[in-house]
Amino acid sequence: MDKQTLFLSIFKRAERTFGNSAYRLAGERWEEPWQTVIVTIMSAQSRDETTIPIAEDLFARYPTLVSLAKARYEEVLGCLRSMNYNRTKARHVIACAQEILTRYDGHVPEQIEELITLPGVGRKTANLVVTECFGKPGICVDTHVHRIANVLGLVKTKTPTETEFALMKVAPQRYWARINRVFVLWGKVAPGRDRKKLVGALR
């Protein structure tokens, strides 16, 4: 079986199982693109259930990009206190807001190459933003996507970035934006690298 056929077989089963889930991932359903950027920076190494309420509190306190860009580090750190890597994230959140304002006149850039120049933004965040906010093709690869794609033999890669580019060759572009949500929900119910357990979680 060629890799594209394998991908389609796996993805269609995974989408049948998880595609209609009401579970909200951290980077979903924010009103403004800048909020999506900030939340995704915050979500690194943190659970969605932890990130979303903290982000809601942060945006209640700083409802505009301007107010967040002017925020004091100690106050943002206080909002993020219960998160992993809170000091680094607090610095990145403020610096990213400032750069979106100064370099892009308050508009989140729509190109991955520009997004990854912002503080705290890597390819995972950039791909999520372009797909979630701007409807552009992109594959957001987090630990779940990287793990599942390798365990099931879709790719043979060592890093999430390698996985992103390898999946681009395997998955038809019309599926790219949906891979992250489906694989993340799948990964949450089937942790580890046991192929049988991963496949067993599907209908």
Residues labelled as active-site residues: 124
User: What tokens does 73 get?
Assistant: 């580090």
DSSP 8-state assignment for residue 31: S
Q: Give me the amino acid identity at 144.
A: H
Q: Give me the amino acid identity at 159.
A: T
C-alpha 30/C-alpha 33 separation (Å) is 7
Distances (CA, A) of 200 to 53, 64, 138, 190: 32, 45, 28, 9
